[in-house]
Amino acid sequence: MRRIDTACVIDDDPIFVYGIKKVMKVTNFCDRILVFNDGQEALDNLKEIILINGQLPDVILLDLNMPILDGWQFLEEFIKIPCAKKIIIYIVSSSVDPEDVLRAKSYERVSDYIVKPISVKKMKEILQDFENTFKE
Amino acid sequence: MNMKREKKVDVDLAPDSKENYLKKELYDLVKKDSAIFEFLQEAAIDGLWFWDLNIPENEWMNSKFWTTLGYDPSVMPHKASSWQDIIFKEDLQQVYANFSRHAEDPSHPFDQIVRYRHKQGHTVWIQCRGIILRDDQGKPRKMLGAHTDITKIKKAEEDLKQQIDNYMHIIEGTGLGTWQWNVKTGETILNQKWAEIIGYTLAELEPIALDTWVKHSTVEDQEKSNKLLKDHFVNNTPFYECEFKMKHKNGEWIWVLDRGKVVSWDAEGNPEWMVGSHQEITKKKKDLERNKLFIKQTPSAIAMFDNKMSYLAASQKWFEVCGIKNTKVIGKSQYEILPQISKSWRSKYQKCLKGEVFKNYEEQIQKENGDIQWLTWELQPWYSNENKIGGIVIHVSDITKIKKEEELKSLLRVTEDQNERLKNFAHIVSHNLKSHSGNFEMLLDLYIQENPEIENHEIIQLFKTASKNLSETISHLNEVVLINTSLDKNLVSVGLKKVIDEVTMSVSAITIESEVEVNNFVQDDIEVLAIPAYLDSIVLNFITNGIKYRSKERKSHITLTATKNSEYIVLEIEDNGLGIDLTKYRSKLFGMYKTFHSNIENSRGIGLFITKNQVEAIGGKIEVQSKVNQGTTFKIFMKYEKN
């Protein structure tokens, strides 16, 4: 069984970020959390990590509605970057628009679409899901 | 020689003893006094000749002989050959013939008309008469002749002949049928053309009488014609003129213009002979009829007036737009037809008759019944061939419909704008409010996680409820927004019975528990056009509603049936539950957060609102009938696929 080492949260809402950190702590979700406030910041930093061959996150929780580079734009750019490590991407958004849900499904790299708010219960499910994915 | 016809004095006539004494005296004078003869031959005769038959080249001609022909007598020799070149050769034949007959038989007159070429080139017509003077043995010795210049008479005769010919040509050329009618005796004479106009030969129409016309015309036209004839006879109109129909041999009716005039009157002043003509005017008449039809049926309101504002023509539409009920307006004045017409219009008419053009692209008019009418109109003078203003033409269009459409369009634009704003608003609700409420929920969840001891605290409990309600409300709003933004998209044909069965199955736990019998009587083959998820939701909502609002006083049932009409499948969902007081609640029934039964749990007042939106989103509608404490029937109209 594999444990999540680093989780990356890309969201501009500080309350949500505060909340998810708490939930992750409560659920013992991971060891390390990377937080970026918009898609651009996330992209720049992740590129940097790949460049210096640093520690990439195992899981990315991606919001859609963000300034500068929104979730979709980030996705478009990010999937172009060649990367050896398999990173699981979850979209975490308030939107219940079926179009968003469908669009998320169209990306192979996106594992699931999670509607906010996120709860301890939901987080546990994600954890379970992750563990199942990497069960040998 | 036929002397009795002659009025002129003939010098060679022997005087009768019983003659008038003056005549006798004149004859004597002539014999004695050559001056008298001199006067006679110069004044009364246009030429005198005396010819020696023994020496035929000798012929004496008097001065008048030559002056009549334009020659100077003093240079002309007294020879028979001197006039040979100026007489028309073809006329000489006649002269020779008459001469030889007269020579044989003195009673045969030497009298003929011959032509001479005047010195100036024109023809001179001469009546040439002569007598042969014989010796005692009766042998011709001399010949005396006299010329009378009849050129003027001849010319008048020629002219007359020419004129008659011309008239004949005109009659033939114009295709005029002619008639002569004796008003007193009824005698009637027609020409060939008269018969040809109606397809017959004259012979075919025999016997010709007034009846010949009567048989080929209509009773109304005969009356009309009689009236006009009387006018001509009694009131002495310059001529009679009448247009009427006549039956052609081929069975068709043709139009004839009949004109005539009385040419003779009897001693009492009654008309006797009348002459006239028939002219076929079928084409003109048909053109006119067509023009009339054209104006009458023109799909716009048009009227033409003369310079006294009397109607010359008007279209059917004109009567409709102007509200004129009696459409027999031709010849009547506009002021008589529309007495209520305003001063400003009257003045416009007058100005237009002086050449001004008026246009108005939009005028609002209140009709008698209070309706608003929008008109666009145009006033224009019309000009006769002489470029004089003959009257005016008015054209009016009722643009009320267009105006209304414009209003509707602008209303639609406003609605679209509002709809767009509503969508934006909904979007804000969906995204922003939702994330805030989500945060609330999440934080509360975390707070309770960290402080389990406060979970049962009353305020925290209320907090949780409030947070949950907020999230729910927002999610309802979201649902509605999504329905309204996916209108008419992705409709597929869905089997209705199957959907109902599945929904019934999914709620079977509740139906069994609440003892509600669900009867699905919808036929297998009925399909509706819908978004499957919506249809599930719609059916589910009505069934759960039926269960929720059942009456506990009786055994409950929900019955579903479906019928098909030309436009919709109508799904009827009938229950025998609590019912709704529609007089009170009809307008609010499908509103958001409306509930009508305070004692029912889970009555959130959102179901019907969403259902209605979903039904409308798939192009349908809902009707409802209900009686309090008897039950409710919902009719859901849904579109279906038509081959």
CATH assignment at residue A103? 3.40.50.2300
Per-residue pLDDT tens over the stretch B115-160: 999 999 999 999 999 999 888 888 888 999 999 999 998 888 888 8
The residue of A97, A114, A118 whose CB has the most chain B CBs within 10 angstroms, and thus the best one to mutate to test that interface, is A97
pLDDT at residue B575 in the model: 92
Q: Are residues B271 and B322 in the same domain?
A: no
Q: Are residues B391 and B410 in the same domain?
A: no
Per-residue pLDDT tens over the stretch B250-267: 999 999 999 999 888 888
Contact: B445, A120; criterion CB under 8 Å = yes
CB B398 within 8 A of CB B373: yes
Chain A residues in contact with B480 (beta carbon < 8 A): none
Rounding to the nearest 10 degrees, give the CA dihedral for residues B597, B601, B606, B611.
-90
CB A116 within 8 A of CB A11: no
Chain B residues in contact with A19 (beta carbon < 8 A): 439, 442-443, 446
Per-residue pLDDT tens over the stretch B406-415: 888 988 888 8
- A121, closest residue in chain B (CA to CA): B445
- DSSP letter for B271, please: B
Residue A123 lies in a domain: yes
Rounding to the nearest 10 degrees, give the CA dihedral for residues B580, B584, B589, B592.
-130
Contact: B442, A16; criterion CB under 8 Å = yes
Judge residue B370's burial from the number of C-beta atoms within 10 Å of its C-beta, 0-12 exposed, 13-18 middle, 19 or more buried: exposed
Residue B156 lies in a domain: no
Shortest distance between the Cα of B439 and any Cα of chain A, in A, equals 6
Cα-based angle B345, B348, B349 (whole degrees, multiple of 5): 90
Residue B485, both tokens = 């933004």
Cis-peptide, bond into residue B106, ω within 30° of zero: no
Residue A10 lies in a domain: yes
Q: Which residues pair with B313 in a beta bridge?
A: B304
Residue B230 lies in a domain: yes
Residue B14 has pLDDT above 80, yes or no: no
B600-605: long-range pairs with CB below 8 Å, 24+: B600/B548, B600/B549, B602/B548, B603/B548
> Is A120 touching B (CB cutoff 8 A)?
yes
Q: Are residues B428 and B519 in the same domain?
A: no
pLDDT at residue B217 in the model: 92
CB B277 within 8 A of CB B261: no
Q: Are residues B463 and B368 in the same domain?
A: no
pLDDT at residue B602 in the model: 55
Going by their DSSP bridges, the two strands B48-52 and B140-149 should be labelled as: antiparallel
Single out the residue in B238, B264, B280 at which a domain terminates.
B280
Domain that holds residue A41: 4-131
Contact: B442, A95; criterion CB under 8 Å = no
Q: How far apart are the C-alpha atoms of B608 and B589, rounded to whole Å?
A: 7
pLDDT at residue B558 in the model: 93
Residue B393 lies in a domain: yes
Q: Are residues B224 and B275 in the same domain?
A: yes
Residue B569 has pLDDT above 90, yes or no: yes
Which of A34-43, B32-41, B160-169, B484-493 comes out lowest in average pLDDT?
A: B484-493
Per-residue pLDDT tens over the stretch B106-126: 888 999 999 999 999 999 999
Q: Provide the number of structural domains found in chain A.
A: 1
pLDDT at residue A83 in the model: 79
Cis-peptide, bond into residue B207, ω within 30° of zero: yes
Q: Which contiguous run of DSSP H or E holds residue B219?
A: helix B219-234
Q: Average pLDDT in the B597-605 region?
A: 58
Chain B residues in contact with A117 (beta carbon < 8 A): 437-442, 445, 471
Residue B7 has pLDDT above 50, yes or no: no
Q: Provide the number of structural domains found in chain B.
A: 6
Chain B residues in contact with A120 (beta carbon < 8 A): 445-446, 449
Residue B422 has pLDDT above 50, yes or no: yes
Residue B638 has pLDDT above 90, yes or no: yes
Q: b/e per residue, B233-244, with b = 16+ CB within 10 A?
A: beeeeeebbbbb
First to last CA, chain B: 114
Please give the share of chain B, as a percent, with pLDDT higher than 90. Answer: 23
Q: How far apart are the C-alpha atoms of B52 and B60, rounded to whole Å?
A: 8
Most confident of B337-351, B378-392, B564-578: B564-578
Q: Are residues B276 and B292 in the same domain?
A: no
* Among the partner residues B432, B441, B482, nearest to A117 by beta-carbon distance: B441
Shortest distance between the Cα of A118 and any Cα of chain B, in A, equals 6
CB B491 within 8 A of CB B619: yes
Q: What ipTM goes with this model?
A: 0.78
Which of A124-128, B189-193, B327-331 comes out lowest in average pLDDT?
A: B327-331
Contact: A96, B430; criterion CB under 8 Å = yes
Q: How far apart are the C-alpha atoms of B565 and A135, rounded to whole Å?
A: 59
Q: Average pLDDT in the B581-603 region?
A: 69
Q: Are residues B502 and B595 in the same domain?
A: yes
38-77 in chain A: CB under 8 A from chain B: 65
pLDDT at residue B198 in the model: 92
Q: Average pLDDT in the B246-253 region?
A: 92
Q: Which contiguous run of DSSP H or E holds residue B24?
A: helix B21-32
Residue B2 has pLDDT above 50, yes or no: no
Among B414, B470, B403, B483, CA closest to B437: B470
Q: Are residues B500 and B632 in the same domain?
A: yes
Q: Average pLDDT in the B197-217 region?
A: 90
Single out the residue in B128, B147, B166 at which a domain terminates.
B147
Contact: B446, A13; criterion CB under 8 Å = no
**What distance separates the 2 farthest-apart alpha carbons in chain A?**
40
Residue B596 has pLDDT above 70, yes or no: no
* Among the partner residues A22, A26, A95, nearest to B430 by beta-carbon distance: A95
78-97 in chain A: CB under 8 A from chain B: 94-97
Residue A92 lies in a domain: yes
Q: How many helices (H) and strands (E) does chain B have?
A: 21, 22
Among B145, B152, B116, CA closest to B128: B145
Among B229, B295, B294, CA closest to B260: B229
* Among the partner residues B443, B445, B482, nearest to A97 by beta-carbon distance: B482
Q: Please state, as a whole number, how many other Cβ atoms lie within 10 Å of the Cβ of residue B303.
A: 24
Q: Are residues B616 and B506 in the same domain?
A: yes
pLDDT at residue B3 in the model: 43
Shortest distance between the Cα of B442 and any Cα of chain A, in A, equals 6
Residue A45 lies in a domain: yes
Please give the share of chain B, as a percent, with pLDDT higher than 70. Answer: 93
Residue B309 gets the label, from left (phi > 0), alpha (psi -120 to 50) or beta, of left
Q: Average pLDDT in the B453-476 region?
A: 84
Q: How far apart are the C-alpha atoms of B425 and B430, rounded to whole Å?
A: 8
Q: Are residues B496 and B634 in the same domain?
A: yes
Most confident of B234-243, B423-432, B486-495: B234-243
Among B476, B484, B592, CA closest to B531: B484
CB B608 within 8 A of CB B593: no
Q: Average pLDDT in the B219-232 region?
A: 91
- B480, closest residue in chain A (CA to CA): A97
Residue A32 has pLDDT above 80, yes or no: yes
Q: Average pLDDT in the B580-585 region?
A: 83
Kindly give, in sequence order, each residue whose CB lies less than 8 Å from that of residue B120, ignoring residues fewer than 6 positions away.
B70
Q: How far apart are the C-alpha atoms of B162 and A12, rounded to whole Å?
A: 117
Of the CA atoms within 13 Å of residue B628, those in its CB half-sphere come to: 8
Domain that holds residue B223: 175-280
What value does the mean pLDDT of chain A take?
A: 87
Which of A100-109, B42-51, B360-369, B571-580 comes out lowest in average pLDDT?
A: B360-369
Q: Are residues B268 and B371 in the same domain?
A: no
Q: b/e per residue, B60-78, with b = 16+ CB within 10 A?
A: ebbbbbbebbebeeeeeeb
Cα-based angle B58, B61, B63 (whole degrees, multiple of 5): 150
* Among the partner residues B435, B443, B446, nearest to A116 by beta-carbon distance: B435
Residue B13 has pLDDT above 60, yes or no: no
Residue B390, both tokens = 């003959």
A5 three-class SS: coil
Among A54, A52, A58, CA closest to A8: A58
E-strand ranges in B281-388 read: 301-306, 311-314, 358-366, 372-383
Tell me the pLDDT band of B210, cut-offs 50, 70 and 90: confident
Q: Are residues B224 and B294 in the same domain?
A: no
pLDDT at residue B297 in the model: 86
Most confident of A84-93, B162-171, B245-254: B245-254
Which of A6-15, A78-87, B182-191, B547-556 comes out lowest in average pLDDT?
A: A78-87
CB B572 within 8 A of CB B632: no
- Give the residue with greater pLDDT, B499 vs B169: B499
Residue B586 has pLDDT above 60, yes or no: yes
